[in-house]
Chain A
Amino acid sequence: MLTFMASDSDEEVCNERTSLMSAESPTPRSCQEGRQGLEDGENTAQWKTTFSFSFLISKSLPYITSSSCGAGTPWSSRCGFPQRSQDSEEDCEEDPDHYDCSAVPGRPPGLEEELTLKYGAKHVIMLFVPVTLCMIVVVATIKSVRFYTEKNGQLIYTPFTEDTPSVGQRLLNSVLNTLIMISVIVVMTIFLVVLYKYRCYKFIHGWLIMSSLMLLFLFTYIYLGEVLKTYNVAMDYPTLFLTVWNFGAVGMVCIHWKGPLVLQQAYLIMISALMALVFIKYLPEWSAWVILGAISVYDLVAVLCPKGPLRMLVETAQERNEPIFPALIYSSAMVWTVGMAKLDPSSQGALQLPYDPEMEEDSYDSFGEPSYPEVFEPHLPGYPGEELEEEEERGVKLGLGDFIFYSVLVGKAAATGSGDWNTTLACFVAILIGLCLTLLLLAVFKKALPALPISITFGLIFYFSTDNLVRPFMDTLASHQLYI
């Protein structure tokens, strides 16, 4: 049963996001379909979700990098400011997680490595917390609000139904659904890379704004409505309007402009959770598992293969010294930059300055607010004579797509089956272990890495083994109070 629904508005090109993120940008269709108007009530909801889904697909790009020396260059081994001293650049390259970019030359190597480990460990923990929070929000919603476990149609990207009599047919349908979804994602990623290469920044930015709007207003409204229905709390429309308006407006400001780091992180977690809930609701069971597996493989290929679209994206962005949009990435640490050194006005005319103000896009000014105004003007020369403090704390960045797919896995584990908590917890632990291993690899390889494959693989293994082997066993033990 196909649900109609307007394809999303333009597809979201995932530029930066796509680096390690699976660019799911199935959206182009939604735009047009959306304009065709809504059909009946049920279709409306699905239309909205598909619409936003497309937008959000682009948001669901998982990737992980550690911030490097230069502010605004999210990939390690790259210092963004040529004016920095050479040794600091080298140090940055060696220890991307190193706290201090300007390393002391006389420091013993053992200590360097130790500090690397120490700060790498710090980043592991800094990422555990938001990933855990996102998963907690999703699991809590799934367990309490029944709307997200009710089957209410499918997205247009998974047209084949799973209500078939035979197992073979069901398996075939889920594989076909996965193929369609993944091919949409691949097409969107390539489109995104093309757009990025041809510098259509305004288009991309507009797209991102539209998708954030959709998430922050529409999905929040739906979510709030369902939560209120579940707990039978009445809320009048003016209050609802005020609440949703405030939530959404502050979210837009925090994510796309300036705001306190913690608030920005909280909003990113919330929108990831909302998107994951949409996926959990609209992906049929078997398709969801196959899609999760396929997305990890795609992520691996797209980021690591030399011709992979995400890798090309990363390399293009590196060449241009441009950071990834902060709106699509969760950043664990504050980056204070604006390390714009004093520019020589005489040299501006001749050179295309690579370290433009947009490098500050990803950084915060000294008051801890992200400055993000110049990102779409890459050809602007640097502000002449501007000299600012340089300071940087490294952090690790994780794409929102990672949050989304981790939460989808754990949420699906919580939603399906017999409401077993052991399975949910096992998947949760598996994902955290995978994340830890990925961050370890990041510290070793020092380049952008896909964050999905290891975690999702562990998660899938743990889900199926726990659900089929451990659960019946533990149930019997617990009911007789036998402890092993």
Chain B
Amino acid sequence: MTAAVFFGCTFIAFGPALALYVFTIAIEPLRVIFLIAGKASEGLKSINPDESAPSMRLLAYVSGLGFGIMSGVFSFVNTLSDSLGPGIVGIHGDSPQFFLNSAFMTLVIILLHVFWGIIFFDACEKKKWYILLLVLLTHLLVSTQTFLSPHYGINLVSAYVIMVFMGIWAFFVAGGSCRSLKFCLLCQDKDFLLYHQRSR
């Protein structure tokens, strides 16, 4: 049971982040380094003339993901390593769903960090300071909610609701629209297909 809990919780908490990393970053790590080195626009233009300088957003996404992964790992890895060992969960009256709750909470924190990163960078670029404040306040809100630790239900549900809102907001901030979403889901996005064909 302990190995099952260990692997299950690991994949719940870090699966999406790992997938994001593998599918978006691991294949083009140079891009990230381009961004950090500041030659993004010219470099990207030379490589892919059609792209209209999404560099700052990519950096926002990558840094959000990085922060999220580090935060999630630091919060959860010790709990994970304890879940492997012999023991009884909640023997002193705590909830027996400790590991599962922690795993889901870690997942939501990682995703929230990604979205917050995107929104934050965009707000900095457009100099909308109230958005910065809003991001900070939602972060505080989610963290403060975790003080309701025995009542996992409310805690998790509201955190996920906030995450969905943040996700939608970040999607629109990053330049998405209902139309592009429709194209993407129906595999009709010509730009996307062309781009991926070209890069091969």
Contacts and interface: CB of A to CB of B under 8 A. Distances in A.
B195 interface: no
Contact of A483 (B77, B81, B142): B142
Interface stretch (A110-118, A233-241, A271-279): A110-118
Interface in A439-484: 470, 474-475, 477-478, 480-484
Nearest to B98: A481
A181 to B, nearest CB: 33
A114 B76 CA distance: 39
B136 to A, nearest CB: 13
A482 B76 contact: no
B42 interface: yes
B52 interface: no
A145 B86 CA distance: 18
B138 interface: no
B30 A477 contact: no
B102 A117 contact: no
A481 B105 contact: yes
A124 interface: yes
Given A124-B33, A481-B98, A113 B77 contact: no
B37 interface: yes
B165 interface: no
Contact of B39 (A117, A122, A477): A117
A210 to B, nearest CB: 40
Contact of A475 (B33, B42, B78, B105): B78
Q: Which of A118, A420, A474 has the most chain B CB atoms inside 10 A of its CB? A: A118
Nearest to A124: B33
Contact of B78 (A113, A124, A474): A474
Given A113-B39, A421-B77, A422-B78, A121 B34 contact: yes
A126 to B, nearest CB: 10
Contacts of B42: 110, 114
B24 interface: no
Contact of B75 (A111, A429, A474): A474
B43 A425 contact: no
A470 B81 CA distance: 18
A478 B78 contact: yes
B63 interface: no
Interface residues of B, number: 31
Contacts of B70: 429
A451 to B, nearest CB: 19
A422 B73 CA distance: 8
A477 B101 CA distance: 14
A474 B74 contact: yes
Contacts of B170: none
A481 B73 CA distance: 14
B124 to A, nearest CB: 22
Q: Which of A125, A477, A480, A481 has the most chain B CB atoms inside 10 A of its CB? A: A481
Contacts, number: 70
Contacts of A124: 33
Given A111-B46, A421-B81, A425-B74, A481 B34 contact: no
A117 B33 contact: yes
B101 A481 contact: yes
B78 A421 contact: yes
Interface in B40-75: 42-43, 46, 70-71, 73-75
Interface string B9-34: 00000000000000000000110011
Secondary structure class of chain B's binding surface, majority of residues: helix
Interface residues of A, number: 26
B37 A482 contact: no
A5 to B, nearest CB: 35
A121 B77 contact: no
B147 interface: yes
Contacts of B74: 422, 425, 470, 474
Interface in B174-199: none
Nearest to A483: B146
B2 interface: no
A118 B71 CA distance: 29
A249 B37 CA distance: 44
Contacts of A474: 74-75, 78
Contacts of A477: 75
Contacts of B158: none
Contacts of A422: 74, 77-78
A482 B146 contact: yes
Contacts of B73: 425
A121 B76 contact: no
B146 A114 contact: no
B37 A117 contact: yes
Given A111-B46, A480-B149, A482-B149, A425 B33 contact: no
Interface of B: 29-30, 33-34, 37, 39, 42-43, 46, 70-71, 73-79, 81, 98, 101-102, 105-106, 109, 142-143, 146-147, 149, 152
Interface of A: 110-111, 113-114, 117-118, 121-122, 124-125, 419-422, 425, 429, 470, 474-475, 477-478, 480-484
13 contacts: A110-B39, A114-B39, A114-B46, A121-B29, A121-B34, A121-B37, A419-B81, A421-B77, A474-B74, A474-B75, A478-B76, A478-B102, A482-B149
Given A470-B74, A482-B147, 14 more contacts: A117-B37, A117-B43, A118-B34, A118-B43, A121-B29, A421-B77, A421-B78, A422-B74, A425-B73, A429-B70, A474-B74, A474-B78, A480-B149, A481-B102
